[in-house]
Copies of this chain bind each other. A is one copy, B any other.
Amino acid sequence: MSRTQFLDQLLLVSAVLHDDQERELGKLGLTPRTTHVLWLVHHGGPQRQRDLADAMQVTPRHVTTLVDGLIADGLVERTPHPDDRRAVLVTLTPRGAQLMSTMADDNVRLAASLTEGWTDAEVDDLRGRIETVTARLHALIEEAAG
């Protein structure tokens, strides 16, 4: 029973977190997908749309749409690929880079609020437990798929 209550609680916090993130992104005119593009380019550097499509498990056609939207918002730009004239590199504009940096700061503040009053050891133990759950879930998914 208690195991199921744990899962229910995990599902609940996931839903609340998910909705909250989506709401916050919405205020900035971003969707989860466009944010994913920004995140990938922010962390992986300038990339081809093809790479983004593969990383996001989305069609190349849809990446075109997402990048179009981000360009209209002035957050990314298309630059020519140095070695392949078929391809473009999606790069962050200064405004896009600044937005990512603001979002990172917001997350630091949120993380601090959520763990307030806990010791570093407690936070780290909790993180480790959740990491284990994530790994087990991944393993179950792999097993079911393969």
On A, residues with C-beta under 8 Å from B are 2-14, 16-18, 20-21, 23, 107-108, 110-116, 120, 123-124, 126-127, 129-131, 133-134, 136-138, 140-141
Contacts and interface: CB of A to CB of B under 8 A. Distances in A.
Contacts of A23: 141
Contacts of A136: 113-114, 116
A120 to B, nearest CB: 6
B16 A108 contact: no
Contact of A107 (B7, B113, B120): B7
- Total copies of this chain within the assembly: 2
A35 B129 CA distance: 29
Given A3-B111, A124-B2, A16 B137 contact: yes
A141 B8 CA distance: 20
Nearest to A124: B2
A68 to B, nearest CB: 25
B9 A134 contact: yes
A74 to B, nearest CB: 26
